[in-house]
Amino acid sequence: MVKHGPVDIYVLALGEPRFDGKVLTELERQAEAGVIRVLDAMILFKDEVEECSTLDLEDLPRDQRQTLGFIETGTRGFFDSEDSDALFEGMCPGSAVVALAIEHAWAVTLINALNANGVEVALNVRVPSSVINEIFTS
């Protein structure tokens, strides 16, 4: 019996770092509904003189840390300094990057049902939403 679903890594590039809370609200909503689990998050900044910094979730003020309570503390550490170094290399001055490790929690029961019936997943392909939207538009 599997305990975890597949995990997607998202790297979100923000030209000018602005956070209005809408993304956090949606991530929390999806996590509370059991659709996803946010395993880890990493926030990187590169200023105009190319000084790089990382915002550690644990360093946030208590009230902001509580806002991120849907990111389980036991799963943090998915990203490391090698990941941040690689991302810093590709960043433009004056930008930010948010990396998210998101588990598809909904898939756990499906995977277990497939396994119980002797079914093997032979191929799994992720088609980006932009491609799907383009297909349905044309």
Per-residue pLDDT tens digits for 47-59: 999 999 998 877 7
Flag whether pLDDT at 9 surpasses 90: yes
pLDDT in the model for residue 48:
93
Burial profile 108-122: b = 16 or more Cβ within 10 angstroms, e = fewer: beebeeeeeeeeeee
**What is the mean predicted confidence (pLDDT) over 15-24?**
76
Contact 10, 102 (CB under 8 A): yes
Identify the band that residue 17 occupies on the pLDDT scale cut at 50, 70 and 90. Answer: low
**Among positive and negative, which fits the CA dihedral 35, 59, 89, 80?**
negative
Please report, rounded to a whole number, the percentage of residues in the chain having pLDDT higher than 70.
98
**pLDDT tens digits, one per residue of 22-75:** 888 899 999 999 999 999 999 999 999 999 999 887 777 887 777 788 887 788
Please report, rounded to a whole number, the percentage of residues in the chain having pLDDT higher than 90.
65
Strand partners, 41: 100
pLDDT in the model for residue 95:
92
Identify the band that residue 84 occupies on the pLDDT scale cut at 50, 70 and 90. Answer: very high
Domain ranges of the chain: 7-137
